[in-house]
């Protein structure tokens, strides 16, 4: 019987095929055991230990978790920073990428040229782009503030009045942050994250390519039919374009969330691992890295890694739940 | 029309950082640190004796000199170079015995003293190379490089940079601002940064990683697509699931493994894992292998072709475009990788370009010209690669998006 799971009952040919299959997938299986399965288990064990690499891990139960949730102020700061970044960076980058893709999809002349320009930033090596943006965002000499310079008094005036109005309306606390213009970017705790968001907006090329590919798949007839029915451009976008590319939007949303939880290199290089000013760029993955490889608190960092894992699963599941019925899968 | 306007203005916005990167790498310091944006690289130059131009790297005004006592000896002159606001540039240029009665110390004497400092008679200072006077003490030999100080008639000193040794008359005074790009940051960046060493390191890692990934991923993908055996698809889905595993979870135990093997401060932790296949590339290649006509493989098998030969002589040659995608992306990831070298590489001699640039940034925080030059050199190969392989590239990005 073919479905039999007992190797003894296999024919020679079947056994041969089994062996060949395992020989070919063997490297991955070994890799999976050594670089995925064992580390996941070990990581969980370490998370219950006091472990600094130099000595053997000492089991001490849930103490790392208790310390993280109970006492570690920086843990909560890093979570807050990551949440802030997620809340602002993902919509901004998605919207920018979508606008660029829709503009390109108008089939204007020189489409390939524009596409290249918008895509190029995303292939710049991350260390190079970080160093570049550090210079662009230099508060005194960077090009961002040189461009903003002439308008910054007006922006200051606007912000001061908006802040005063919000306080007066009771919508903001009395000690509403005093934002200064031109922005101090990486030297100011209120401007550091917007600076990093600006940098990630520059690198939306990947998402743009995905959206553009999605847009080009949308059947033309749908637009033609809608146009005949007198649908406006906005309604065509809202009711045809967005639903048709919703699977890609959804995919990039989930990937963006996972990516933000792992946001590390840019902040690490800009602040040399410090997460300053005033811990405003201490992101979750960076605090984890610092714990592991700078303070050598491997057990503590493993606990953070597991919390990260659980948070990613929860966020992904929540996104699936919240978007159910809004993502359109052709043929499903 | 409107869409064109929007596209053009957005292109400008997206291009500004690139333009800023390139111009910054070609400007002199005096034009890097300005209030207004300058898009054309400029610098100050002096005309040398032989008709060439030397870039003025720094202009230093002699504004402060003090008298001091040293070990019982009457008095020394201390000469300090300061910038225009009076902040010291070098701690102390030189200390010399008083050339004459201290009350006579006017600017002329100081001038002589400073001149003496540049020649061999004064206390040597490592930061200030002594110039060799040629002929009569009015013309000086200027070596190639940028730490050459030249004294001018009005008691200012300038630091000049030349590509080749040249000559200069003392007090060649006219300093002109010219819209000339300077390559000094590139020269200094490449020398001071061990560029060629880091490049070799990076390429060595990338080469082995690409070979490992292409061979192992295609090998495993073959087992997941062409071969038929029980449990294959279950394992395949397990593999897809591992792609969701955040690297932070496995990072620490993997580090412990490599550390216990004594592999820290070697490239092995960066290279060896690639020989076990990469889940994403296995997936990509499997999808490609599935499009190879089944009949072709069956026919080969009937002709007595071994499984290994089917892999090596039929499937691999037919999959060159997909393998190229894998190689391209692996190379890029390896070239750009920061966290891997950051964790495992300790010795500066083993740094990769990315790690080196990041460390360089920490050490020389204000040398933006050089940092921009190195960034250009780090970015350029990737952009060139992109232009040659644009189609493969874009296709790869799309595939990575479609996998979900």
The mean-pLDDT minimum among A252-261, A269-278, B261-270 falls in A269-278
Percentage, residues of chain A above pLDDT 70: 96
Distance (Å, whole) CA B197 – CA B190: 10
The shortest CB-CB distance from B253 to any of A28, A43, A118 is to A43
Tell me the nearest-neighbour CA distance from A318 into chain B, angstroms: 16
pTM score > 0.90 for this model?
Answer: no
Answer yes or no: do A308 and B249 touch at CB < 8 A: yes
Q: What is the pLDDT of residues A10-40, one digit of tens each?
A: 788 888 889 999 999 999 999 999 999 999 9
Residues sharing a CB contact under 8 Å with residue B237, sequence separation 6 or more, in sequence order:
none
The shortest CB-CB distance from B223 to any of A21, A125, A258 is to A21
Residue B81 φ then ψ, to 5°: -90, 130
| Residues of B (27-66) whose Cβ lies below 8 Å from A | 32-37
Answer yes or no: do B358 and A147 touch at CB < 8 A: no
Distance (Å, whole) CA B230 – CA B236: 11
Answer yes or no: do A21 and B248 touch at CB < 8 A: no
Residues in B touching A116 (Cβ below 8 Å): 390
State residue A224's pLDDT score.
86
Answer yes or no: do A305 and B249 touch at CB < 8 A: yes
Helix or strand or coil: residue B171? coil
Put simply, whether B283 touches A (Cβ < 8 Å) is no
State residue B152's pLDDT score.
58
Answer yes or no: do A39 and B252 touch at CB < 8 A: yes
- B256: nearest CA in chain A? A53
Distance (Å, whole) CA B137 – CA B157: 17
Answer yes or no: do B397 and A209 touch at CB < 8 A: yes
**Predicted ipTM?**
0.88
Put simply, whether B364 touches A (Cβ < 8 Å) is no
Tokens matching residue A106: 């108008």
Helix or strand or coil: residue A53? coil
State residue B93's pLDDT score.
41
Q: What is the pLDDT of residues B267-323, one digit of tens each?
A: 999 999 999 999 999 999 998 899 888 898 999 989 888 999 999 999 999 999 899
Taking CB atoms within 8 Å and a gap of at least 24, the contacts of A37-42 are A38/B253, A39/B249, A39/B250, A39/B251, A39/B252, A39/B253, A39/B254, A39/B257, A40/B245, A40/B249, A40/B250, A42/B253, A42/B256
Q: What is the pLDDT of residues B105-155, one digit of tens each?
A: 334 444 444 554 444 333 333 334 444 444 344 455 555 655 555 655 555
Tell me the nearest-neighbour CA distance from A228 into chain B, angstroms: 23
């Amino acid at each position: 019987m073919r479905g039999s799971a007992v190797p003894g009952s296999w024919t020679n040919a079947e056994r041969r095929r089994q062996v060949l299959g395992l020989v070919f997938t063997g490297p991955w299986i070994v890799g999976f055991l050594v670089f995925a399965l064992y580390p996941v288990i070990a990581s969980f064990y370490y998370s219950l230990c006091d472990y600094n690499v130099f000595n053997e891990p000492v089991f001490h139960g849930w103490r790392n978790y208790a310390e993280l949730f109970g006492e570690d102020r920086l843990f909560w700061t890093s979570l807050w920073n990551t949440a802030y970044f997620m809340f602002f960076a993902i919509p901004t980058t998605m919207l920018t990428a979508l606008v660029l893709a829709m503009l390109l999809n108008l089939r204007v002349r020189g489409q390939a040229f524009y596409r290249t320009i918008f895509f190029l930033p995303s292939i710049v090596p991350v260390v190079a782009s970080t160093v570049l943006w550090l210079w662009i965002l230099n508060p005194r000499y960077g090009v961002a503030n040189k461009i903003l310079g002439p308008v910054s008094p007006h922006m200051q005036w606007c912000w001061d009045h908006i802040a005063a109005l919000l306080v007066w309306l009771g919508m903001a606390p009395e000690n509403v942050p005093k934002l200064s213009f031109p922005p101090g970017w990486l030297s100011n705790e209120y401007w550091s994250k917007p600076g990093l968001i600006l940098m990630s907006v520059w690198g939306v090329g990947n998402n743009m390519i995905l959206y553009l590919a999605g847009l080009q798949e949308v059947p033309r007839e749908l637009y033609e039919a809608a146009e005949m029915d007198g649908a406006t451009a906005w309604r065509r976008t809202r009711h045809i374009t967005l639903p048709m590319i919703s699977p890609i939007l959804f995919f990039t949303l989930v990937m963006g969330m996972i990516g933000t939880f792992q946001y590390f290199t840019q902040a690490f290089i800009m602040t040399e691992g410090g997460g300053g000013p005033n811990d405003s760029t201490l992101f979750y993955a960076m605090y984890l890295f610092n714990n592991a490889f700078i303070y050598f608190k491997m057990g503590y960092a493993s606990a953070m890694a597991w919390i990260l894992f659980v948070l990613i699963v929860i966020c992904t599941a929540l996104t699936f739940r919240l978007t159910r019925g809004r993502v359109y899968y052709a043929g499903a | 029309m409107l869409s064109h306007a929007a596209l053009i203005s957005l292109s400008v916005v997206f291009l500004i950082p690139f333009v800023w990167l390139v111009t910054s790498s070609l400007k002199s310091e005096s034009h890097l640190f300005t209030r207004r944006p300058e898009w054309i690289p400029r610098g100050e130059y002096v005309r040398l004796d032989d008709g060439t131009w030397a870039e003025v790297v720094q202009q230093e005004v002699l504004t402060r000199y003090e008298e001091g006592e040293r070990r019982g000896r009457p008095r020394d002159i201390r000469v300090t170079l300061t910038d225009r606001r009076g902040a010291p540039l070098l701690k102390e240029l030189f200390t010399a015995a008083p050339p004459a009665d201290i009350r006579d110390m006017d600017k002329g004497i100081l001038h002589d003293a400073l001149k003496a400092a540049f020649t061999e008679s004064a206390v040597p200072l490592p930061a200030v190379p002594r110039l060799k006077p040629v002929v009569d003490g009015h013309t000086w030999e200027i070596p190639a490089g940028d730490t050459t100080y030249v004294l001018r008639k009005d008691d200012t000193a300038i630091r000049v940079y030349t590509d080749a040794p040249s000559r200069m008359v003392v007090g060649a005074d006219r300093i002109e601002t010219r819209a000339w790009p300077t390559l000094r940051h590139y020269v200094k960046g490449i020398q001071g940064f061990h560029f060629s060493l880091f490049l070799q390191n990076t390429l060595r890692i990338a080469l082995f990683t690409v070979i490992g990934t292409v061979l192992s991923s295609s090998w495993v993908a073959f087992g997941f697509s062409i071969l038929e055996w029980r449990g294959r698809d279950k394992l395949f889905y397990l593999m897809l699931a591992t792609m969701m595993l955040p690297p932070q979870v496995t990072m620490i135990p993997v580090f412990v493994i490599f550390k216990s093997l004594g592999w820290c401060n070697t490239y092995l932790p960066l290279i060896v894992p690639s020989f076990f296949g990469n889940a994403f590339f296995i997936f990509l290649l499997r999808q490609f292998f599935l499009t190879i006509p089944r009949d072709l493989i069956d026919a080969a098998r009937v002709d007595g072709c071994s499984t290994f030969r089917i892999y090596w002589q039929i499937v691999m040659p037919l999959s060159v475009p997909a393998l190229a995608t894998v190689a391209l992306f692996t190379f890029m990831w390896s070239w750009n990788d920061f966290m891997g070298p950051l964790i495992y590489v300790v010795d500066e001699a083993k740094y990769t370009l990315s790690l080196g640039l990041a460390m360089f940034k920490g050490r020389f925080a204000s040398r933006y010209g050089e940092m921009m030059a190195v960034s250009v050199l780090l970015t350029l190969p990737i952009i060139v690669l992109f232009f040659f392989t644009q189609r493969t590239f874009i296709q790869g990005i799309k595939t990575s998006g479609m996998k979900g």
